[in-house]
Amino acid sequence: MRERLQHLIAERLTGYAEGLGIALPAEQLELSEPPDPAMGDFAMNLPMKLARVARRAPIAIAGEIADLLRDVDVFAKVEVAPPGYINLTLADYAVSGALQAIVADANLKLMKEGVPQTVVLDYSGVNIAKQMHVGHLRSTIIGDVIGRVLEARGERVIRQNHLGDWGLPIAMVLWKAGLVLRDIEARGDDPLQVLTVADLEQIYRDATAAVKVDPNASEEVHRILVELQSGDPRLLADWQTITRLSMQEVYRVYTDLGVQLTMEDERGESFYRDQLAGTVASLTACGALTESQGAMCVFLEQFKGKDGQPLPVIVQKSDGGYNYETFDLAAIRFRIEGLSADRVIYVTDARQALHFAQVFAVADLCGWTVRGSERVALEHVTFGSVLGEDGKPLKTRSGENVKLVDLLDEAVARAYAVVNEKNPDLPEDQKRAVARAVGIGAVKYSDLRQDRNNDYVFDWDRMLALVGNTAPYLQYAHARICSIFRKGGVEEDTITTAPEVSHPAERALALKLLAFAEVVEDVEAELRPHALCTYLYELATAFSSFYDQCPVLTAETEASKQARLALCRAAQRTLARGLDLLGIEAPREM
RNA sequence: GCGCCCAUAGCUCAGGGGAUAGAGCAGCUGCCUUCUAAGCAGUUGGUCGCAGGUUCGAUUCCUGCUGGGCGCGCCA
The pLDDT of residue A503 is 94
**Nucleic acid strand B within 7 Å of A534 CB:** yes
CA-to-C1' span, A56 to B57 (A): 16
- pLDDT band for A475, please (50, 70, 90 cuts): very high
Which residues in chain A, range 154-183, keep a C-beta under 7 Å from any nucleic strand B atom? 164, 166-169
Please report, rounded to whole angstroms, the spatial distance between the CA atom of protein residue A157 and the C1' atom of nucleotide B68: 38
> What pLDDT digit, counting tens, does each position of A68-82 carry?
999 999 999 999 998
Q: Which residue is nearest to nucleotide B73 (CA to C1')?
A: A312
Question: How many whole angstroms separate alpha carbon A389 and alpha carbon A398?
Answer: 15
Q: Could you tell me the strand order of the sheet in which A310-316 lies?
A: A289-292, A295-304, A310-316
d(C-alpha A185, C-alpha A206), whole Å:
22
How far, in Å, is the CA of A460 from the C1' of nucleotide B43?
A: 30
Measured CA to CA, the distance from residue A384 to residue A382 in angstroms comes to 7
Residue A147 pLDDT exceeds 90: yes
Statement: the CB of A87 is under 7 Å from strand B: yes
| Spatial CB neighbours of A558, under 8 Å, sequence gap ≥ 6 | none
Q: How many CB atoms within 10 Å of residue A174?
A: 25
| Strand B close residues, chain A 252-291, CB < 7 angstroms | 269
Task: Using pLDDT thresholds of 50, 70 and 90, give the confidence band for residue A431.
Answer: very high
Question: Residue A168 CA to chain centroid, in angstroms?
Answer: 30
Q: What is the mean pLDDT of residues A439-452?
A: 96
E strand or H helix at A583: none
Tell me which amino acid residue A86 is: I
Q: Tell me, what DSSP letter sits at residue A37?
A: G
Residues with Cβ within 8 Å of A85's Cβ and at least 6 positions away in sequence, in order, are: A34, A43, A44, A45, A47, A48, A62
Per mean pLDDT, which of A293-307, A437-451, A487-501 is the most reliable?
A: A437-451
CA to C1' distance (Å), from A226 to B4: 35
d(Cα A466, Cα A470) in Å, to the nearest integer? 6
Distance (Å, whole) CA A260 – CA A143: 10
Q: What percent of chain A has pLDDT over 70?
A: 99
* Nucleotide minimizing C1' to CA distance for residue A43: B19
Query: Is the pLDDT confidence value at A216 over 90?
Result: no
User: What are the tens digits of pLDDT across the range A329-358?
Assistant: 999 999 999 999 999 999 999 999 999 999
Report how far residue A544's alpha carbon sits from residue A571's, in angstroms, rounded to the nearest whole number: 11
- On average, the pLDDT of chain A sits at 92
Q: For strands A343-347 and A377-381, give the pairing.
A: parallel
Q: Give the three-state DSSP class for A268.
A: coil
What pLDDT band is residue A21 in, cutting at 50, 70 and 90?
A: confident
pLDDT on residue A3: 86
Structure confidence at residue A397 (pLDDT)? 47
pLDDT of residue A392: 75
Question: Do A529 and A145 form a contact (C-beta atoms < 8 A)?
Answer: yes
| pLDDT band per the 50, 70, 90 thresholds, residue A319 | confident
Helices (H), A515-556: 516-526, 530-549
Residues 560-579 of A with CB under 7 A from strand B: none
Mean pLDDT in residue range A536-557:
96
Bases of chain B with protein Cβ within 7 A: 1-6, 12-15, 18-20, 22-25, 34-41, 56, 68-76
Residue A129 has φ and ψ, to the nearest 5°, of 65, 25
d(CA A39, CA A99): 21
- The distance (Å) linking the CA of A75 with the C1' of B38 is 39
State the Cα angle at A361 between A355 and A363, rounded to 5°: 105
Strand B closer than 7 Å to the CB of A318? yes
Q: Quick one: average pLDDT of A555-583?
A: 97
Which of A's residues 284-303 have CB atoms within 7 A of nucleic strand B?
Answer: 292-295, 297
What pLDDT shows up at residue A400?
Answer: 63
Q: What is the pLDDT of residue A396?
A: 52
Average pLDDT over residues A36-46: 92
Which of A133-142, A285-294, A391-400 is the least confident region? A391-400
* Residues 6 or more apart whose Cβ sits within 8 Å of residue A485: A492, A565, A568, A572
List strand B contacts in A 182-201 (CB < 7 A): none
3-state helix, strand, coil in chain A (%, to 5): 55, 15, 30
Domains, chain A, in order of start with CATH, read: 2-90 (3.30.1360.70), 168-381 (3.40.50.620), 439-581 (1.10.730.10)
Nearest by Cα to A525 from A334, A321, A343, A292:
A343
pTM of the model: 0.95
Span CA (A499) to C1' (B40), Å:
23
- CA A460 to C1' B58 (Å) is 38
The Å distance, CA of A487 to C1' of B60, is 48
Among the residue ranges A103-107, A221-225, A406-410, the one predicted with the least confidence is A221-225
Q: Give me the count of residues in chain A.
A: 590
Q: Which amino acid is at A372?
A: G
